[in-house]
Amino acid sequence: MANSTAHHPAFTFLRSEFIDALNVTVQEFEHTVTGAKHFHIASENDENVFLVGLKTVPTDSCGVAHILEHTVLCGSERFPVRDPFFMMIRRSLNTFMNAFTSSDWTAYPFASKNKKDFNNLLGVYLDAVFFSRLDELDFSQEGHRLEFAEPDNAESELTFKGVVFNEMKGAMSSTTSVLWQTLTKYLFPNNTYHFNSGGEPTDIPDLSYQDLLAFYRTHYHPSNAVFMTFGDIPAETLQAEFEDKVLSRFERLEEQVSVPNAKRYFSPVRVEEGYAAEEVKEDGSHVVVGWLLGESTDLNQQFEAQLLSSVLLDNSASPLMRVLENSDLGRAPSPMCGLEDSNKEMSFMCGLEGVKREDAPKVEALVLSTLESIAEKGVPQDMVEAMLHQLELSQREIGGGSYPYGLQLILAGLSTAVHAGDVIAQLDLDPVINAMREKIQDPAYIPNLINSLLLSNAHRVTLTLSPDDALEARRNQAEKDRLSKIKAALSDADKQQIIERSAALKTRQSQVDDMSILPKVGLEDVPARLPEYDNQKVAGALPVTFYPQGTNGLVYQQLVMDLPALDEEEIEYLPLFSSMMTELGIGEDDYLAVQERQAQVCGGLGASNSIRATIADRQELNGYFILSSKALVPNVKAMSELLKDTMLNVRFDEVSRVKELVAQRRARREQSITGQGHSLAMTAASSALSGLAAQQEKWSGMSGIRTAIALDDAMKADSKAAEKVLAIFKRLHSKLLQANKQLLLVAEPQHEAAVLSEAQSVFADLPVGGAKTAFVMAPVDAQVKVAWLTSTQVSFCSKAFRTAYGDHPDVAALTVLGGFLRNGFLHRVIREQGGAYGGGATFDGSIGSFRFYSYRDPRLTETLADFDASIEWMLNETHGEDALEEAILGVIGSMDKPSSPAGEAQSDFYVQLHGRSLAYREAFRAKVLAVTIEQLQRVTKTYLTKANENVAVVTATSKRAELESLGFDIQTL
């Protein structure tokens, strides 16, 4: 790849470096007039990524940076429409669009594989960030406002409304979020990290519109910005756009935004605070010990801290994690365990959850004595080398999943860029890894780090966060009292102003903007065909499928087994079996030895299940059990041996280990509710539609969380409970050993022969099974109306309708309908007018479920009514072809969203395994492109009826009476 220095005349070239491990060239430029930095990651990848980041440094918890992030995207100088961000989502083939507020920066990223689309989005984003209109009504909608419960009745109750206000009520319902915010409040006593950059719900109403404007003027300026790009568009081309659209209109700011270092403590601090809980459990406290470390922009300091954190906490064999997992003082290690290195100054944390409040000093003493012991005895050399190996693996891996690969690289360097560190060094870790290899040869290296960074570091905070069952009521009462006091002080003119502003906002939310001023792509820009992935199928006792993909020196391997016929009990425990199989011992080795072996040869092992309904029948299933791993090419044989050994010789006699894993799983599941409440509500609403849907609710829904809690309690109360589970595991394992098996391999084409040879030689004598047996679940076809009550300040609502499925002709229209309803109706009434953080509709064609949802929603029954109103809107209004095209583009964009090279190969393998051939998917794509408004109205009328309706909500305990009166089946954890 060329080490190009070509750049626009308005920019100064600073340096360029090719990074072999990533196969990219990183170029650094500076805008001569404003000082804005531009980092371009030149790659042959056609998925181009743009991000502009700004250092945003709040000095309180009013959420100014977060509310500004929302409001900036509500119209700009060149695009004076009310909601260009959400409008462009509909008019684009983007592979990613979003905006983030971190502790000390705000970022606006997008990605697209289509050059026309990329340029469209670039123009909108640049104008939004640097020339935002910041309308006061948008601030009222996105941030906060006062409104009467009956908007035109000044005698009704006064309320706080606002999208961010409700988003943060939802976010701060998470105990993990409260834990993080509280700990950082004490770790950073005097700078921006002391405050909640997202905004505390109690403080958000203190933010004024003038405060917002002042923050924008000082922070949203090119002198305070960094532009970061990735892909095959040259830096010079991008810079021409930056200069033309933005930079030519600015001069350099003399005053720089900065984050001062935290004032250091001279002795450790111990604090206690509370979190809202349904009940006060004796062992409900969290105890976390945190240290403030050095600056993250110092790569040597950062890497030493990362290595130390990995050595201490990476897996169950790591010496500090082992002590925490085995301690009787708590239920599980804290979710805070690890290094936080995205702030200017790093912090290291560890601790326990499920602790008795009075045992907090014992937890602190346990952590400190363990660190002293490790520092005294040292750490085995092979463990330290294994952690360096893991860091190299993570450096080389081309990721996939929720973020484009280019954006992952950009985000890896963003904090360093914002704080004027060395971005190239941050991305090119090979030199620092090599230097570290030399340093770790000294057996005293890790003990010295423990002493210098932790034991001798007086800036230490021990936080005890304890459950408080009255906190939520006190908080709600304080909000009511505040609103009552405000209302009592209102003059008639003030009341009238609130009424008029509510009416003006509603008018603004209902106005139809001229969308033609926004750029767009059309159906003519959609790629004609889906990509076809080359693969090599090798027949034999163990069939092998090899995909040649650009994996940057890694090999991905999966042992795939047909799920055999299982009884009801085995089906219930299948996900638990999968989550534990790679966490247990093998043969003569206990789980600690196995964890060490995994770290030395591969990027860890995972076990999972891939289960889908067949195209022909939603009650009929295809199921597969998968053991997977990844490794560098030289370790293929060792990885294969580890996979095979795990499959054949996994131990089911480590009772204490199983108890420990069950406790950890319970903790993770309980913490997940407020972050994925909309998914949990949709899963519950769909649970009556098929056997698989019902089982998914028992596995991963609210019922599954309740089961995880009950199992943990049972294992604590009854010594035989774990043995019963292990007996079920043995039955499952025995059946899997007899099942049909095949191997999936993904690697670079030049390694095909070697990788196939190594893997085949290892797996030659693996038992491969005989005739396929059907994996079945009892069919389900019923209706539900269920409410799950938990500790939350917001609601998550869903309705699910029984529909066509599989290859039925109506499936394409149902797929498009979700986006059509969201774009045309649901976004406006649920998010903008209702104040929820999100809302929409989506379709699952495998089980035939059309699902409405809302996320972090201040309302409940009103939202359920809005779902119904959207159906009436669909049936009774006249709809335009532009809206249809936007909905179709959204579906195609999600179908075409790229993953990592390995991820795309794996996805192709499994869709084909489940009977969805390339021809089938292309035929479906053609049906989606041909959907008409008449089809949308027909499927709405046919399927979205009361007879097909199922309802589920996840909400606060305070809603019990209201929900009972509406006939909901009330469930609690």
pLDDT tens across 887-905, in order?
999 999 888 888 888 999 9
Q: Where are the domains of the chain?
A: 11-259+495-517, 269-410+421-468, 785-972
What mean pLDDT comes out for the span 765-779? 82
Report how far residue 406's alpha carbon sits from residue 231's, in angstroms, rounded to the nearest whole number. 7
What mean pLDDT comes out for the span 547-552? 90
What mean pLDDT comes out for the span 942-966? 96
CATH fold of 11-259+495-517 reads Cytochrome Bc1 Complex; Chain A, domain 1 (3.30.830)
Report how far residue 806's alpha carbon sits from residue 813's, in angstroms, rounded to the nearest whole number. 13
CA angle in degrees (0–180, nearest 5) for 202-208-214: 125
Contact 51, 412 (CB under 8 A): no
Chain segment 107-164, per-residue pLDDT in tens:
999 999 999 999 999 999 999 999 999 999 999 999 999 999 998 899 999 999 999 9
The 10 Å Cβ neighbour count of residue 177 is 19
Chain segment 421-432, per-residue pLDDT in tens:
999 999 988 888
pLDDT tops 80 at residue 528: no
| Sequential DSSP letters for 920-961 | HHHHHHHHHHT--HHHHHHHHHHHSSGGGEEEEEEEEGGGHH
Chain segment 564-582, per-residue pLDDT in tens:
999 999 999 999 999 999 9
User: Sign of the CA dihedral 935, 936, 938, 939?
Assistant: positive
Report how far residue 99's alpha carbon sits from residue 413's, in angstroms, rounded to the nearest whole number. 17
Report how far residue 2's alpha carbon sits from residue 17's, in angstroms, rounded to the nearest whole number. 10
Token pair in block for residue 778: 């009892």
What mean pLDDT comes out for the span 695-719? 95
Is 401 or 813 the better-scoring residue by pLDDT?
813
This prediction's pTM: 0.92
Find the catalytic residue in 28, 47, 69, 583. 69
Token pair in block for residue 375: 């520092």
Q: Coil, strand, or helix at residue 17?
A: strand
CA angle in degrees (0–180, nearest 5) for 218-219-220: 105
Chain segment 3-40, per-residue pLDDT in tens:
568 999 999 999 999 998 788 999 999 999 999 999 99
Model pLDDT, residue 400: 62
Chain segment 327-339, per-residue pLDDT in tens:
999 999 999 999 9
The 10 Å Cβ neighbour count of residue 865 is 12
**Strand boundaries in 335-470, DSSP class E:** 338-340, 345-355, 460-468
| Proportion of the chain above pLDDT 90, given as a percent | 87
pLDDT tops 50 at residue 1: no
Averaged pLDDT score across all residues of the chain: 94
Residues comprising the chain, all counted: 973
Model pLDDT, residue 930: 96
- Does the active-site annotation cover 964? no
CATH number of the domain at 785-972, out of 3.40.50.300, 3.40.50.720, 3.40.1360.10, 3.30.830.10?
3.30.830.10
Model pLDDT, residue 7: 96
Report how far residue 228's alpha carbon sits from residue 973's, in angstroms, rounded to the nearest whole number. 45
Kindly tell me the number of DSSP H helices and DSSP E strands found in the chain.
Answer: 34, 28
Chain segment 593-607, per-residue pLDDT in tens:
999 999 999 998 999
Model pLDDT, residue 449: 97
Strand partners, 854: 839
Q: What is the largest CA-CA distance in the chain?
A: 86
Contact 774, 688 (CB under 8 A): no
pLDDT tops 50 at residue 523: yes
Chain segment 594-653, per-residue pLDDT in tens:
999 999 999 989 999 999 999 999 988 999 999 999 999 999 999 999 999 999 999 999
pLDDT tops 50 at residue 699: yes
Please indicate whether the domains covering 11-259+495-517 and 785-972 agree at the CATH topology level.
yes
Report how far residue 858's alpha carbon sits from residue 369's, in angstroms, rounded to the nearest whole number. 46
Is 402 or 687 the better-scoring residue by pLDDT?
687
DSSP, res 92: -
Alpha helix ranges (H) inside 270-380: 299-313, 319-326, 360-377
What mean pLDDT comes out for the span 763-792? 88
Q: Can you tell me which residue has the tokens 């997008």?
A: 110
What mean pLDDT comes out for the span 356-368? 98
Model pLDDT, residue 401: 63
What mean pLDDT comes out for the span 49-70? 97
CATH number of the domain at 269-410+421-468, out of 3.30.830.10, 3.40.50.720, 1.10.3720.10, 3.40.50.880?
3.30.830.10
End-to-end Cα spacing for the chain: 56
Q: Can you tell me which residue has the tokens 């795939």?
A: 560
Contact 69, 106 (CB under 8 A): yes
Q: Can you tell me which residue has the tokens 């008795």?
A: 356
Contact 803, 848 (CB under 8 A): yes
pLDDT tops 80 at residue 398: no
Chain segment 264-273, per-residue pLDDT in tens:
999 999 999 9
